[in-house]
Structure 1
Amino acid sequence: MFILFFGTRPGKKKEATLPGAACPYCGQAGQLRATLIPQFVHLFWIPVFRLRPTAYVECGHCKKAYAEDDLTTEMRRGLDGLASP
């Protein structure tokens, strides 16, 4: 008998502020924080390959979160900076 442990789990979260971008909802500049969380498929708790990461931007003032479809070009640039090694 052989037991196989596999599944998905998040990797190390990366965060950065976006100082030049303003929140589209409340208009406050310098309050946006970009977050990127990589997802991995694991086998026996060892990461085998990377899935598409979870990415979002949240405003520190109004607490509104923006997902992939709601991002502006400034927000996308900030997330691209997090994704590069």
Structure 2
Amino acid sequence: MIFFFGLRSTKIVEKQATIPCSHCEEKQVWFFIHQNYFHLFWIPVFPLWKSTTSVCAHCKQVLNKKEFSNALLDNYKIEVTKAKTPWWTFFLLIAFFALLVFSIILSQCS
């Protein structure tokens, strides 16, 4: 039997920061927060971690969270507290527990 499983991510925050780029000094820096999750047959099972990158709209420089300037890191900390994990990343776990509860209820009725 073949199992398709792995990791995927979905964008949960896309925000423009009013901070100059460390490379070109333009104030067109965007940062993105992605929620990574484990999937089985492309159905989300459970969320794992959040990853963050920033992209300058002018020079296209891409930075990871480790490379953020202090000002961008401060904006990131504000936005990450607002970033909620999507409920559907727990889909297979929710379906499993719903099926378990449903089967318990049916066995009690018999």
With structure 1 as the length reference, what TM-score do the two structures score?
Answer: 0.75
Please tell me whether the aligned partners of residues 35 and 79 of structure 1 are also in contact (alpha carbons under 8 angstroms).
no
Please tell me whether the aligned partners of residues 5 and 43 of structure 1 are also in contact (alpha carbons under 8 angstroms).
yes
Larger Rg: 2
Structure 1 or 2: larger helix share?
2
SS in 2 for 1:50: strand
Mapped to 2, the partners of 1:4 and 1:10 lie a distance apart of 19
After TM superposition, the runs of 4+ consecutive aligned structure 1 residues lying more than 4 A away are: none
CA RMSD of aligned residues (A): 2.0
> What percent of counterpart residues are identical?
28
Listed as ranges, the gaps of 5+ residues in structure 1 are none
* Residues 39-66 of structure 1: CA deviation (Å, up to 9, x unaligned): 1001343322222223111111111111
With structure 2 as the length reference, what TM-score do the two structures score?
Answer: 0.61
Mapped to 1, the partners of 2:75 and 2:17 lie a distance apart of 6
* Residues 28-84 of structure 1: CA deviation (Å, up to 9, x unaligned): 22x100011211001343322222223111111111111122101221233233322
* Residues paired across the two proteins, number: 82
Matched with 2:34 is 37
Matched with 2:73 is 76
Mapped to 1, the partners of 2:2 and 2:61 lie a distance apart of 43
Matched with 1:57 is 54
Q: For 1:6-45, what aligned pairs fall within 5 Å after superposition? A: 6-19=5-18, 21-29=19-27, 31-45=28-42
Listed as ranges, the gaps of 5+ residues in structure 2 are 85-110
